[in-house]
Amino acid sequence: MALRLMCVTAHPDDESGGFGGALLVAHGRGADTTVICLTEGRAASNRGDARSDDELAAARIAELDISCAILGVTRYEVWKYPDGALIQANLFDITTRLVERMRQLRPHIVLTFGGDGGPNLHRDHAVAGFAATAAFHWSGRSNFAQEQLENGLTLWAPRKLYYSSTNFTVSKFKEEAAVAPRTPASIKLDLGPLQQVKRQALEAHDTQGVMSRAAEVYEKYGHEEHYLLASARDPERFAHETDLFAGIEGA
């Protein structure tokens, strides 16, 4: 059976920094993997040599292409919603598009951010998670985006939804981060040698200089990734899981 995984992110570099280990594990299992990035990352404060927002967007998409190749991602898409202001985008539009892609690609697993916004508490991350969560639940329901069904798509209910979780924060708002609620974890992935491959994918995002800014954090925490099983069919079965794909049966 061909396993399928979809990862919904906000910016180029989220796929490697937030989900790189899981994507590598999925690739190693022979899974079909999709990354959907909701913005081009054109509002980033780290800009490399880019002289304009357009140059930065182009550079970041090129970096994403390299990163996804390193991570063995089957396909990626960059949607042009407003970077840094995703909360102002049309959530109905984002969710409808995500439902369409879920009905087309039929992922068993969906990965995204929780409402905390990840280790840097980024609002764009949280919004990506809101839309992905709604799409996860609604792609299998006939009362949402009925026009897609009329045009030939069929209902698809993914099996499991995971939120990224970390036991650290890298937010510049240190006092707020110290008391901010965070997404708990229900599963830990030990990356082993995949840690270095994930690092290569992170380093592909040259404009962001991630490793120059977060090398100490990566060396301390980069050997593992944590996720919360946020929703699943018969979730009680997965109380002590160690495998993202545990319990996936049928196509």
The single-letter code of the amino acid at 48 is G
Segment of 167-171, 216-220, 226-230, 243-247 carrying the highest mean pLDDT: 226-230
* pLDDT exceeds 80 at position 1: no
Lookup result for tokens 């708990």: 184
Determine the pLDDT at residue 48.
Answer: 73
Scanning the structure block, which residue is given the tokens 């998409």? Answer: 61
Calculate mean pLDDT across residues 43-59: 85
Q: Give pLDDT, residue 239.
A: 78
Q: What pLDDT, on the 0 to 100 scale, is given for residue 219?
A: 86
Least confident of 36-45, 77-86, 154-163, 194-203: 36-45
Q: What local confidence, expressed as pLDDT, does residue 250 receive?
A: 58
Name the percent of the chain lying above pLDDT 90: 75
Pairing of strands 75-78, 109-113: unpaired
Q: For residue 118, what pLDDT is reported?
A: 92
Residue 222 contacts by C-beta under 8 Å, 6 or more apart in sequence? 191, 195, 198, 199
Cβ–Cβ < 8 Å for 39, 232: no
- Would you say residue 126 has pLDDT above 80? yes
Question: How large a percentage of the chain has pLDDT more than 70?
Answer: 98
- Using CA atoms, how far apart are residues 83 and 14, in angstroms rounded to an integer? 13
pLDDT at 183 over 60: yes
Q: How confident is the model at residue 176 (pLDDT cuts 50, 70, 90)?
A: confident
- Tell me the pTM: 0.95
According to DSSP, the β-strands at 160-165 and 109-113 are parallel
CA of residue 64 relative to chain centroid, distance = 13
Which one is predicted more confidently, 239 or 6? 6
Higher pLDDT, 235 or 142: 142
CA distances from 160 to 155, 229, 242 (A): 16, 7, 14
| pLDDT, position 179 | 87
